[in-house]
């Protein structure tokens, strides 16, 4: 399988992850496009077939972090109120998607990334650690915080809110 | 003998990451701790909910712009199809117009290729009813950002509203030296114009307005800075001159 074929086969998963990570289709595809370009450029640096997927996710992660760093810093404020997340038992797909986008946006980026890599992309903890460039213990603690926070948000409980702070 | 059940074990249980031996132990422990059982179930429900919301992306067709070039070529798969159609049409037009031998060395070689390439692109895409453009004017910011990125310089589609033409959208095309942008406009009478924007070689000198008629398509073209421009349409030379002047004044860069 050529480098191109191997990368093309991963595009749908990269798009799914990027879509959930950014909450926005166009932004997600821009991120995927940048990731693919970078992956093809750096193809010669990648050797082990076993870790191909985490390698692609790590490229995407670094690009995403760079983009956000340029756009503005994300800060964490304890005392703000939670943005309203509507509760629905029988939501349509579109409403469900919107609610989840909104809830995920309330997680700190690094927690959102871990939650999605593990819960949605079903990477092992070791793979998620490689993709994010952090120790596995950090993955576990972020996963734990992300899950309890998302649960609070989806249950409509007050949790600290994220705020974009201009640098 | 059994290690105590940790938070990590509970997550690994929710994620189906435990081996059989540990799985049995954790299940037994959860049976005795219903509040933790409920929490683990909630985590699983979260993952299921993520899949319900985002798995649809897996089934979407991959946008053409995301497909990496095949075989080190700079052309994408879909664009290859357009390119072949384009070459064939170019050959037909060239042959019909000038009575030249069909085995001309290369229809793309000469510098005068700009008006012909633009006219052929115009002829290929303006009759399209459903897919005249890749990205519509309703997503203009995205269109401009994308084409600017691919051509490596800030582009701005000129406004032709005062002449009664509105922007339909644009697309990326393969050109002589790489990517080319095509913007399409339409007026109330459904006449369509296309503006072809082609990056020039660094040493190319500016060139003032020129006119060519490529099998009934009027093309005004010029080179300005890093780009060659060609405006194609079929509403007559005088009308096209007026429109081209309008474009030239706005400087699409």
Q: What is the DSSP string of B67-88?
A: SPPSTT-SS-HHHHHHHHHHHH
Distance CA B68, CA A56 (A): 14
How many CB pairs below 8 A link A and B?
Answer: 85
Nearest CB partner across the interface for B53, out of A40, A97, A125: A97
Nearest to B184 by CA among B196, B174, B199, B200: B196
For B9, the closest chain A residue by CA position comes to A140
B14 CB-contact burial (10 Å; exposed 0-12 / middle 13-18 / buried 19+): buried
Residue A91 neighbours by CB under 8 Å, 6+ apart:
A99
Question: Closest residue of A to B70, CA-based?
Answer: A4
Rounded Cα distance, A11 and A162, in Å: 30
Sign of the C-alpha dihedral computed for residues B38, B44, B46 and B48 taken in this order: negative
DSSP state at residue B180: E
pLDDT of A156: 81
- Interface predicted TM-score (ipTM) of this complex, two decimals: 0.82
The per-residue pLDDT for range A79-137, each reduced to its tens digit, is 333 444 444 444 467 778 888 999 999 999 999 999 999 999 999 999 999 999 999 99
A8 touches chain B (CB under 8 A): yes
**The token pair that represents B166 in the structure block:** 């509105």
B6, B18, B38, B66: best mutation site toward chain A, by most A Cβ within 10 Å? B66
Residue of B nearest to A38 (CA): B68
pLDDT band for B95, please (50, 70, 90 cuts).
low
pLDDT digits (tens, 9 = 90+) for B107-135: 333 356 888 889 989 988 888 888 889 88
Interface residue ranges in chain B relative to chain A, Cβ cutoff 8 Å: 7-8, 11-12, 15, 17, 42-43, 46-47, 49-60, 62-63, 65-71, 139, 142
Report the distance separating Cα B102 and Cα B84, nearest Å.
16
Inter-chain residue contact A97 with B11, CB threshold 8 Å: no
């Amino acid at each position: 399988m050529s480098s191109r074929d191997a990368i093309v086969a991963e595009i749908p998963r990269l798009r799914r992850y990027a879509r959930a990570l950014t909450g926005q289709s166009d932004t997600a595809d821009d991120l995927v496009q940048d990731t693919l370009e970078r992956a093809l450029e750096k193809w010669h640096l990648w050797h082990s077939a076993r870790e191909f997927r985490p390698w692609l996710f790590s490229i995407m992660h670094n690009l995403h972090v760079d983009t956000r760093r340029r756009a503005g810093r994300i800060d964490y404020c304890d005392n703000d109120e939670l943005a309203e997340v509507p509760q629905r038992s029988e939501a349509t797909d579109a409403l469900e998607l919107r609610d989840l986008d909104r809830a995920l946006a309330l997680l700190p980026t690094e927690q959102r990334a871990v939650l999605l890599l593990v819960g949605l992309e079903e990477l092992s903890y070791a793979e998620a650690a490689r993709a994010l460039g952090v120790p596995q213990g950090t993955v576990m603690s972020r996963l734990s915080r992300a899950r309890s926070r998302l649960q609070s948000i989806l249950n409509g409980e007050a949790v600290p809110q994220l705020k974009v702070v201009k640098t | 003998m059994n290690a105590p059940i940790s938070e990590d074990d509970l997550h690994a249980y929710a994620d189906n990451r435990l081996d059989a031996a540990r799985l049995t132990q954790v299940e037994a422990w959860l049976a005795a701790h219903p509040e933790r059982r409920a929490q683990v179930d909630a985590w699983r429900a979260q993952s299921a909910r993520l899949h319900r919301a985002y798995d649809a992306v897996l089934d979407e067709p991959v946008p053409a712009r995301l497909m990496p070039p095949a075989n080190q070529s700079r052309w994408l798969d879909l664009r290859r199809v357009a390119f072949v159609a384009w070459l064939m049409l170019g050959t037909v037009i060239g042959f019909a117009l000038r009575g030249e031998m069909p085995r001309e060395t290369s229809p793309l070689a000469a510098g005068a290729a700009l008006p012909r390439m633009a006219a052929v692109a115009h002829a290929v895409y303006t009759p399209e009813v459903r897919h005249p453009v890749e990205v519509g004017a309703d997503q203009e910011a995205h269109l401009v950002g994308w084409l600017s990125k691919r051509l490596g310089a800030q582009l701005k589609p000129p406004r032709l509203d005062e002449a009664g033409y509105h922007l339909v959208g644009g697309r990326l095309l393969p050109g002589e030296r790489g990517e080319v942008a095509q913007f399409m406009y339409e007026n109330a009478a459904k006449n369509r114009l296309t503006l072809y924007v082609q990056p020039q070689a660094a040493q190319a000198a500016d060139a003032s307005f020129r006119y060519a008629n490529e099998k009934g398509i009027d093309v005004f073209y010029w080179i300005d800075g890093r780009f060659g421009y060609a405006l194609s349409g079929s509403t007559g030379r005088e009308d096209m001159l007026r429109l081209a002047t309008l474009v030239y004044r706005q400087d699409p860069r």
